[in-house]
Structure 1
Amino acid sequence: MSAPNNSFDPVEVTPLHPDEVARMREEALAAIAAAQDLAELKEVRLAHAGDRSPLALANREIGALPPAAKAEAGKRVGGARRDVGQAVKERQAALEAERDERVLVEERVDVTLPWDRTPRGARHPLTTVAERMADVFVGMGFEIAEGPEVEAEWFNFDALNFQPDHPARTMQDTFFVEGPDGGDSGVVMRTHTSPVQVRALLSRELPVYVVAPGKTFRTDELDATHSPVFHQLEGLVVDKGITMAHLRGAIDAFVGSMFGEGLRTRFRASYFPFTEPSAEVDMECFVCRGASVGDPDNPCRTCSSEGWIEIGGCGVVNPRVLVAAGVDPEVYSGWAFGLGIERTLMFAHGVRDMHDMVEGDIRFTSAFGSEN
């Protein structure tokens, strides 16, 4: 059995040589001092103080030394590793302090600055007017009904008693949706909200009391009083014993709520395929109340000194519409109306040009308030 190698010289083990240990220590300290941020310091710590660092590998070599040489080598390598560990702690503390100071500067909030430099948005007045109009009828017991904007011709025309040769079916009035093969698809962009009448009668139990605000489309040029896209509020009542008198009462209540109490209304004979009899609805001018008629010295811009303002069309539901929806006209009767939402907004707030409603100018919208 051989004796221990007491003559082994640890200086001959290169990683444990004093000069080599000093070099590894200085290299580590220099890298630590050069770290510019915490992420870089982490990489340096792993490279010079981690389990695979040069000093850690040198420390493993001590186990192979004879007992007499271990103490001196251990003291030398241990001292270097302590110096590196202490340098890492000090550099980390310094970098964390720099980071905290930088965050205080970069993320500082000046509480003295105005908080409302970005103005609040405003809902479009057409939306608020439409909701207000619908609320008037909801208060009378009506329900809100909806229908698609891309509508089948049957709902838009046939079920509403529009004959096949009716002018409204031509390209002069209607946007037709092209079929997959480029031909007729039987689908249109709805020209009015009246199709909701038929859909309501087909989907709801009688009696029916509904209003349907919505967007409609016609091939009109955009000018001061017309737009290819506009909004209507459709109303429908179908019940037993319904007469034109009930319609007149509902219109009077609407006018009083929207424009002021005491305004008179009148019906002028008209024609719509889906109502019979039909009428145009006028209300007394809410500005001059008829006082400007025949008075050239005090003209009224709202009613053009006519004393009356047209607000929509109405009438008793045509029996053919009831039959198309599966309702017995011998038992039930009803009435319907259509009111222009743009027209109501123009009259109620003195808007003169349709362009103002569609161009998206925030100066127009914000004038009506930031209602949520």
Structure 2
Amino acid sequence: MSEASGKEHPLSILMNEAYQVFTDLGFEIATGPELESEWYNFDVLNVPKDHPARDMQDTFWIKEKEGNVLRTHTTATIARAMELAGKEGRIPAAFISVGKVFRNEATDVTHEMQFYQIDGGMIGENISLADLKGVLSHFYKKMLGEDVEIEFRPSFFPFTEPSIEVFAKWKGQWLEMMGAGMAHPNVLKNIGLNPNKHQCLLFGGGLDRIAMIKWGIPDIRFFYQGDLRLNQF
């Protein structure tokens, strides 16, 4: 009796596809630690000290290493990369990062305590919200097909101003895919850049949700359970 051979995980497939889309646009791949400092996970990104995201009910704080968390996003990685680019005089620059993130929240078909997030940023002069919408529209068309329905809605995030949310049509309903916007001036100051000279677009969202739409996977939890219904990959 023959044994079935192992196959690449769907999230690994999607990660490589996402990296290809952005590197084709000139983005550099950035990597960072999963155990992140409070400074890069929250403070750099203009998240107030009393913001609910800092609560133990939302974030995994590390008792043995005070002031550190399991990162709740990979925007921290983008902030690190842009800070280094500024110090090295490598602006304009664009970065993309995909990595595992952690949220202390209840799980359901579209939410999980551990998932993969894609984050990106582009910094330079004369960068606008139109550039952001153009980049994200291109990305989702490449990932989900030219006929994908994408909608941009006004929103609020402490690290972007203005802020938008990106939604995609899934099973007849709009599914939130990503948060995005133009970096708040305080974010640029925190990484040592002049907000009067540079503009920066930021975006970030779950890679798992893209996979759910792309391949019709009904439950985000399937990705982490060794579910044999994913063996077609």
CA-to-partner distance for each residue in 1:146-191, whole Å, 9 max, x for gaps? 11000000000000001111111011100000136xxxx0000001
CA-to-partner distance for each residue in 1:265-298, whole Å, 9 max, x for gaps? 3311111111110001123x3xxxxxxxxxxxxx
The residue number in structure 2 matching 1:312 is 178
The residue number in structure 1 matching 2:229 is 364
Runs of 4+ in 1 over 4 A off after TM superposition: none
Q: Does the 8 Å CA contact 1:279/1:314 hold for their aligned counterparts?
A: yes
Q: Distance in 2 between matches of 1:339 and 1:137?
A: 15
Give the deviation of 1:262 after TM superposition: 4.2
Say whether 1:344 aligns with 2:229. Answer: no
Say whether 1:240 aligns with 2:125. Answer: yes
Say whether 1:191 aligns with 2:76. Answer: no
Which ranges of structure 1 fall in alignment gaps of 5 or more residues? 1-113, 286-301
The residue number in structure 2 matching 1:330 is 196
Q: Does the 8 Å CA contact 2:120/2:204 hold for their aligned counterparts?
A: yes
* One-letter amino acid of the counterpart of residue 73, structure 2: H
Q: Does the 8 Å CA contact 1:123/1:365 hold for their aligned counterparts?
A: no
Q: Distance in 2 between matches of 1:319 and 1:355?
A: 37
Say whether 1:265 aligns with 2:131. Answer: no
Q: Of residues 208, 215, 219 in structure 2, which corresponds to 1:353?
A: 219
Alignment of 1:1-372 (within 5 A): 117-179=2-64, 185-204=66-85, 205-283=90-168, 285=169, 302-303=170-171, 305-306=172-173, 308-361=174-227, 363-368=228-233
CA-to-partner distance for each residue in 1:61-99, whole Å, 9 max, x for gaps? xxxxxxxxxxxxxxxxxxxxxxxxxxxxxxxxxxxxxxx
Q: Distance in 1 between matches of 2:147 and 2:11?
A: 25
Relative to the length of structure 2, the TM-score reads: 0.93
Give the deviation of 1:364 after TM superposition: 3.0
Q: Kindly indicate which of the two structures has a greater share of residues assigned to helix.
A: 1
Q: Distance in 1 between matches of 2:99 and 2:64?
A: 25
Q: Does the 8 Å CA contact 1:252/1:264 hold for their aligned counterparts?
A: no
Q: Distance in 2 between matches of 1:119 and 1:211?
A: 35
Q: Distance in 2 between matches of 1:339 and 1:282?
A: 11
Q: Distance in 1 between matches of 2:141 and 2:72?
A: 28
Q: Does the 8 Å CA contact 2:144/2:213 hold for their aligned counterparts?
A: no
CA-to-partner distance for each residue in 1:125-161, whole Å, 9 max, x for gaps? 1111121112111111111101100000000000000
Higher RCO (CA-CA < 8 Å; seq separation 6+): 2
Give the deviation of 1:264 after TM superposition: 4.7
Q: Distance in 2 between matches of 1:310 and 1:168?
A: 18
Structure exhibiting the larger radius of gyration computed from Cα positions: 1
Q: Does the 8 Å CA contact 1:122/1:365 hold for their aligned counterparts?
A: no
Report percent identity of matched pairs.
Answer: 39
Q: Distance in 1 between matches of 2:133 and 2:110?
A: 27
Q: Does the 8 Å CA contact 2:53/2:59 hold for their aligned counterparts?
A: yes
SS in 2 for 1:311: strand
Give the deviation of 1:244 after TM superposition: 0.4
SS in 1 for 2:61: strand
Q: Does the 8 Å CA contact 1:134/1:233 hold for their aligned counterparts?
A: no
Q: Distance in 2 between matches of 1:220 and 1:364?
A: 25
